[in-house]
Structure 1
Amino acid sequence: MNAPLDLDQLATFIAIADTGSFTRAAEEVHRTQSAVSMQMRRLEERVGKPLFQKDGRTNRLTENGERLLTFARRLMRLNRETLAAFDDASLEGHIRIGTPDDYADRFLPEIMARFSRSNPRVELSVLCEPTSNLVEHIRRGNLDLALVTLDSSSHGPEAVRREPLLWVSSANHSVHEREILPMAFGRPSCLWRRAACAALDAMNRDYRVLFTSFSATVITTTVLSGLAVSILPECALRPGMRVLGEADGFNTLPDCHIGLMRGHTGQTEIIDALARHIAESLDNLSVPAFIEEKGSFDFDGMLHNPKGKRLRPGHILAGW
């Protein structure tokens, strides 16, 4: 296996994985169906593993195909970034992006690093505010893109990631065992707060909201200090937290869906480029090191692909 992989074959392979069809993939890559089939036979010969299995009229990836897909997407991204770095006509300008600070620490480093490497002439301005504020900024033309939390009535934003929403407390305190549960939430309009309150009511659990803030830092500090229980998406977990589950008397919460809203501010080419980077970054974001090292995940697929890996309740997240 010394010969390099063929990028054209990988591009076709990704198209088949995304469309589920050799025919539709052939249209995507502007080749005949027989040419696409030949490319895939050669790719399977190259890696020495079967990549597809028939499922009715669709072509599903085998386990080896799923493995290759992750690498294929990385190679194609790296190819685009390499070419962009030498493109004298590369994008330039100023783009404004907004995100709740719950997502900023986990997502922005990867997004900004990749986008800046590919587009060194584009200036990024970042605004961290709650979803409701970001939606208003988008409507007023103050932002070009916003990463937001979706609810069941959200139809416009493009969904780019799904995360489990988890009950969390301090690993060093037993605040979750109190008769009247002290809670720390975002403001009353927060979707996660509504989900948690509905779940607590369904559990007939007495609780009192002691801390309210739209700042993720404030909520995190409150939890780690042992002052209250809260709910956070998986991406916002921090060392020193304990994930609570049914054994602790807490029901499973609905998943958190993250979407991408586009403003109507012009600069379509730059906005499209950043939106693509965000979607690709979040689709392939790896497990945080402090969680992965503790082996805290059951592997049924979430952070490396959208189908979802799950953190096991009761696990304590070790320090950095």
Structure 2
Amino acid sequence: MTFLLDGDQLRTFVAIAETGSFTRAADVVHKTQSAVSMQMKRLEERVGRPIFARDGRASRLTEDGERLLDYARRIVKLNLEAMASFTDAALSGHVCLGVPDDYADRYLPEIMARFSRTHPSVELTVICEPSSDLTERIKAGTLDLAIITYTADSGRQAQVIRRERLLWVASARHSAHNETPVPLALGRPTCQWRDAAITALAMYGRHHRLLYSSPNAGAVSAAVLAGLAVSVFPESALRPGMRVLGTAEGYPPLPPCDIGLLRNRHAPSPLADALAQHIIQGLDNITEADAAE
């Protein structure tokens, strides 16, 4: 006989995986720690394999636990979508989203249009700041959701919702990319893409100099489009007038760019859940060809 997985147990399991702790997960799902422990015992009995391995005070997933996590997230997501289809019309209030300006131009129009159509009574506030600042806002509880560039420091709190190529770009009408040393326009010192670009050029043995630095993607794009410098952008941030550079022009491959979604675990709400689903679906619907337009 085939047994079905319990949705509430899977939701708790996902919370443990994302917080790294039974105790913190209990706060997220509004249960006692003993209830969370009992749920996970029953879930392990249901799948017939251990899904947690103790690592000090932390709760580390086994290989089977990692495999189950992917299914659990999809089942929980589908459950939320199904319920939202019956409750969306009744939602009203205010929700606050953070997004770096690197992604705002490409992603926000689609997300805002979809959300506004299904939630006309909801006030949406958008804050554009670098990923590191948005992460701190989420920790402080001043944002409901944040789209960020995922890094190892993001930990299990962030859900990776999209992966894109990180690309070298220059002006299509100028030749700054042929200069030695290469003039660069990059983000602020804490920017992951800045580190990736400088590290790749150093390992490739190509001399470079930092000509422009700004936390604002528009300012960096302006330096590129003016033909003053070379930069790096994810494919969704490419703009008309830019050309992509590769090994043929002497530019080494770059690591991919992972885009993550952070949620305010201190104050979850149906509105934030509904917006999260629109964000995930919106980014899923963007193809590589769309992103490069």
Tell me the TM-score normalized by structure 1: 0.64
Question: Where do 4+ consecutive residues of structure 1 move more than 4 Å?
Answer: 26-29, 77-81, 287-292
C-alpha distance in 1 between matches for 2:272 and 2:82? 20
Seen in structure 2, the aligned counterparts of structure 1 residues 291 and 278 have a Cα distance that, compared at 3 Å, is: closer
Seen in structure 2, the aligned counterparts of structure 1 residues 116 and 203 have a Cα distance that, compared at 3 Å, is: same
Aligned residue number for residue 172 of structure 2: 171
Structure 1 spans left out of the alignment, 5+ residues: 1-22, 30-76, 293-320
Aligned residue number for residue 8 of structure 1: none
How many pairs were matched up? 220
C-alpha distance in 1 between matches for 2:161 and 2:189? 25
Aligned residue number for residue 240 of structure 1: 241
C-alpha distance in 2 between matches for 1:289 and 1:152? 28
Seen in structure 2, the aligned counterparts of structure 1 residues 78 and 238 have a Cα distance that, compared at 3 Å, is: farther
Aligned residue number for residue 218 of structure 1: 219
Aligned residue number for residue 139 of structure 2: 139
Which region of structure 1 is more displaced relative to structure 2, 282-291 or 209-218? 282-291
Alpha-carbon distance, 1:94 to partner: 0.5
**Contact 1:149–1:257 under 8 Å retained in 2:** yes
For residues 44-81 of structure 1, the C-alpha deviation after alignment (integer angstroms, 9 at most, x for no partner) is xxxxxxxxxxxxxxxxxxxxxxxxxxxxxxxxx89976
Aligned residue number for residue 157 of structure 1: 158
Seen in structure 2, the aligned counterparts of structure 1 residues 28 and 119 have a Cα distance that, compared at 3 Å, is: farther
C-alpha distance in 1 between matches for 2:136 and 2:267? 18
Alpha-carbon distance, 1:286 to partner: 3.8
C-alpha distance in 2 between matches for 1:195 and 1:289? 25
Seen in structure 2, the aligned counterparts of structure 1 residues 28 and 152 have a Cα distance that, compared at 3 Å, is: same
- Structure with more relative contact order (C-alpha pairs < 8 Å, separation 6 or more): 2
Aligned residue number for residue 52 of structure 1: none
Identity of aligned residues (%): 50
Secondary structure, aligned partner of 2:239: coil
Secondary structure, aligned partner of 2:147: strand
Alpha-carbon distance, 1:151 to partner: 1.2
Seen in structure 2, the aligned counterparts of structure 1 residues 169 and 258 have a Cα distance that, compared at 3 Å, is: same
Secondary structure, aligned partner of 2:273: helix
Secondary structure, aligned partner of 1:243: strand
Secondary structure, aligned partner of 1:179: coil
Structure 2 spans left out of the alignment, 5+ residues: 8-80
CA RMSD of aligned residues (A): 2.5
Seen in structure 2, the aligned counterparts of structure 1 residues 265 and 80 have a Cα distance that, compared at 3 Å, is: closer
Seen in structure 2, the aligned counterparts of structure 1 residues 93 and 163 have a Cα distance that, compared at 3 Å, is: same
Alpha-carbon distance, 1:153 to partner: 3.7
